[in-house]
Amino acid sequence: MNMTLDYNQFFGTYSSSNMWNGCCTTPTFYNTWDQTDPRFKDNRLKSVTGFNLGFLVGQQYSPAGVALVTKDGGRPLIYTPEFSNNNSAEEQGVRVVKYAPDPATTYPGASQNDVQYYRLADAYLMRCEAKFRKGDIAGALADINTLRAKRGVATYAQSALTLEKIYNERGYEFYWDNSRRNDMIRFNTYCAARYEKTTETPAYKILFPVPLTAYDADRNIKQNPGYPAFQ
């Protein structure tokens, strides 16, 4: 949460010094959403924090309901989907607050509830994907629809289920959970050009380079293909 909110979006024990005004999501991912999905927006803490949980877009407000302005010029703090990696205005980019903050925490610089190790939803979607890839469409459908029914969104008909829908469902369920890179590799989207990345990534970069510290510990280790060899 601290990484994504604007400097002026402070509340409770959180001050402007805790906010970095940095991370946002891309318009590409934002536009895949059905915005009636309850995972997209949740207002349960808005009276205390001033903002909704989920995706923050449009005019932002203080807990008292006052329309906020940017710190660097007093423009209305209106989050927009578009941004630039090279030169963005303070208010550009849809922000994300997935896990509810505690306004009374004594640790406003470090959230205590935003690291997940196991998710039952992940077990359902892993099994769904495996079944779909081996041709068990009915089994895959049962798994994804179990999850979607639990989330209160429309279920799929068997004829409508595709790998792209499974990929998107993983995005809806696990956004901001640090798992998207692995999903992109598995669904063959990681190397493709995308928003603010105009060229394809060479396939060898799916593997990270072996760090020099590993080579220093064992000189028999070879560097992964595509990267400069150890000297």
Note the pLDDT tens digit of each residue in 68-119.
Answer: 999 999 999 999 999 999 999 999 999 999 999 999 999 888 877 777 888 9
DSSP reduced 3-state for 79: strand
Predicted local confidence at residue 8, as pLDDT: 96
Percent share of the chain, pLDDT over 70: 100
Rounded Cα distance between 98 and 92, Å, is: 19
The amino acid sitting at 150 is: K
Does 170 score more than 90 pLDDT?
Answer: yes
CB atoms inside a 10 Å sphere around CB 218: 7
Shortest CA distance to 77 belongs to which of 98, 93, 96, 97?
93
Shortest CA distance to 25 belongs to which of 84, 98, 94?
94
Percent share of the chain, pLDDT over 90: 92
Predicted local confidence at residue 223, as pLDDT: 97
Domain residue spans of the chain:
1-102, 120-205
Predicted local confidence at residue 113, as pLDDT: 78
- DSSP letter at 228? P
pTM metric for this prediction:
0.91
Does 153 score more than 80 pLDDT?
Answer: yes
